[in-house]
Amino acid sequence: MRVDAKQGRLLDARQVASPNHDARPEAASIDLIVVHGISLPPGQFGGPHVTAFFQNRLDPGLHPYFRQIQHLRVSAHLFIDRAGGLIQFVPFTRRAWHAGESRFHGQPDCNSRSIGIELEGTDSRPYTDLQYRRLVEVIRALREAYPAIDEHILGHADIAPGRKTDPGPAFDWRRLRRELATGPSGPGAPQA
Annotated active-site positions, please? 118
Alpha helices in the chain (DSSP H): 49-54, 64-69, 129-145, 156-159, 173-181
Of 168, 155, 143, the residue nearest 30 (C-alpha) = 143
| 75 beta partners | none
Consecutive H or E run containing 35: strand 32-38
Rounded to whole angstroms, the Cα distance separating 76 from 96 reads 5
Q: Is the dihedral of CA 32, 129, 45, 124 positive or negative?
A: negative
Nearest 10 degrees: CA dihedral of 169, 171, 175, 179? -160
How many residues are present in the chain? 192
- The Cα–Cα gap between 50 and 87 comes to 11
